[in-house]
């Protein structure tokens, strides 16, 4: 049971090595009215961001990190001496593949970031106050897309005087943002590193995202999204996050780590509906911890943004990927249950169709989708070489 409790604290076990061993200052970018891809206007936009390393005088050494669905801009370092390290801390830092002695590595929170209860997250979304009403937007917030995430990041970069990126790199939903960056603004992107992501949300993933979101809508406290000031739909959100956690892992890891062990010694799951298997209990604990810092409406908006994703937001995947001019390094797992390897390989083929280099690197492991966050140490040398090419 101690092992289960340790996993319940985060489920994703941090890699042992670290790179950026410094205190990070979280900053806030504010911009005026923003018009979404759908044509709606958000009166005020604020997103948090952080950076590691120094921007050079030419302002051409920037690497943008784009985060995953449940992630934040906290890719490396700590906010305090005792604070948690960023999720790619082992890749970012002096002498690491994303070498902060050479590169200015920055990352921003997305619009509708899930983690509204985290004091280190700044994001505009349904939980934000609509200046026109003085109340939270709730479901009156406009639908936003991956392109909208990218457009806000572009405005942030422009405010820093950055006109070109040495690379853009991200995992999962972050990979979608890398494709969109390279397709929408090819003149700004020199290299693309999508990790565990494909060029579009296919029908099966659209269905999965619908299933992820369903428990929130079924929670009676959701109230059509109008729960601010009342009881939030925490139970539904926790069930949604449980589905995400399960889907992001792999059955090989689950079976090897937990098997059919009981959650509590002496409490046979066959003896009572209240008695659980160990893996059930872990999933419940992880989901409850994440739900306490998350917002249900933001989850729904993220699900919609991912469902809508098609590189280039045009008529075809081939057309959107054809706009990519930068060499692309696609890192994937053959055990991924979210972005299946066939979709990643198809994406690479379509990028290559117009002569753009697109290289595939496969990760080994039993964590499935999560190997794209945990296991990039396997491809450190390939990353270094790609950033040098």
Query: For residue 307, which of 214, 211, 209 has the smallest C-alpha distance?
Result: 209
Pairwise CA distance, residues 314 & 297, whole Å: 27
Chain center to CA of 41? 24
Which of 70, 172, 294, 333 is flagged as catalytic?
172
Query: For residue 104, which of 57, 142, 150, 148 has the smallest C-alpha distance?
Result: 57
Cβ atoms within 10 Å, residue 163: 13
Pairwise CA distance, residues 372 & 336, whole Å: 9
Give the list of residues 6+ apart from residue 214 with CB closer than 8 angstroms, or none: 240
Pairwise CA distance, residues 353 & 263, whole Å: 51
Which of 67, 74, 298, 369 is flagged as catalytic?
369
DSSP structure class, residue 78: B
Residues paired with residue 298 on neighbouring β-strands, in sequence order: none
Q: Any catalytic annotation for residue 109?
A: no
Ramachandran bin of 111, using left for φ above 0, alpha for ψ from -120 to 50, beta for the remaining angles: beta
Q: Any catalytic annotation for residue 247?
A: no
Pairwise CA distance, residues 125 & 143, whole Å: 10
CA distances from 292 to 234, 235, 287, 335 (A): 7, 10, 9, 30
Pairwise CA distance, residues 178 & 347, whole Å: 13
Pairwise CA distance, residues 11 & 249, whole Å: 10
Cβ atoms within 10 Å, residue 130: 16
Q: Which residues are catalytic?
A: 172, 336, 369
């Amino acid at each position: 049971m101690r092992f289960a409790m340790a996993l319940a604290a985060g489920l994703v076990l941090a890699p042992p090595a670290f790179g950026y061993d410094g205190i990070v200052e979280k900053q806030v970018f504010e911009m005026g009215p923003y018009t979404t891809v759908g044509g709606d206007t958000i009166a005020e936009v604020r997103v948090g961001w952080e950076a590691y390393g120094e921007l050079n005088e030419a302002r051409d050494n920037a690497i943008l990190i784009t985060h995953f669905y449940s992630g934040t801009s906290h890719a490396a370092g700590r906010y305090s001496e005792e604070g948690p390290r960023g999720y790619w801390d082992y890749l970012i830092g002096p002498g690491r593949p994303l070498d902060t002695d050479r590169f200015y590595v920055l990352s921003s929170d997305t619009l509708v970031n899930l983690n509204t209860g985290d004091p280190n997250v700044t994001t505009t979304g349904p939980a934000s106050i609509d200046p026109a009403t003085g109340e939270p937007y709730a479901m009156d917030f406009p639908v936003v897309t991956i392109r909208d995430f990218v457009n806000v990041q572009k405005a942030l970069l422009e405010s820093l005087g950055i006109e070109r990126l040495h690379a853009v790199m991200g995992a999962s939903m972050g990979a979608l943002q890398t494709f969109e960056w390279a397709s929408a603004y090819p003149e700004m992107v020199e290299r693309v590193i999508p990790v565990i992501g494909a060029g579009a949300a296919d029908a099966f993933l659209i269905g999965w995202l619908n299933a992820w979101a369903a428990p929130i809508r079924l929670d009676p406290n959701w109230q059509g999204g109008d729960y601010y000031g009342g009881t939030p739909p925490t139970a539904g959100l926790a069930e949604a996050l449980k589905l995400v956690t399960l889907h992001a892992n792999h059955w090989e890891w689950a079976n090897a780590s937990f098997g059919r062990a009981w959650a509590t010694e002496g409490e046979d799951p066959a003896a009572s509906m209240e008695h659980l298997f160990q893996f059930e209990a872990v999933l419940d604990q992880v989901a409850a911890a994440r739900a306490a810092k998350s917002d249900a409406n933001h989850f729904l908006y993220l699900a919609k943004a991912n469902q809508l994703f098609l590189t280039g937001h045009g008529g075809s995947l081939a057309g959107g990927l054809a706009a990519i001019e930068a060499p692309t390094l696609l890192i994937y797992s053959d055990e991924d249950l979210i972005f299946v390897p066939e979709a990643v390989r198809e994406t690479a083929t379509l990028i290559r169709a117009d002569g753009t280099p697109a290289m595939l690197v496969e990760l080994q492991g039993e964590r499935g989708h999560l190997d794209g966050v945990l296991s990039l140490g396997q491809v450190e040398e390939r990353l270094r070489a790609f950033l040098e090419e």
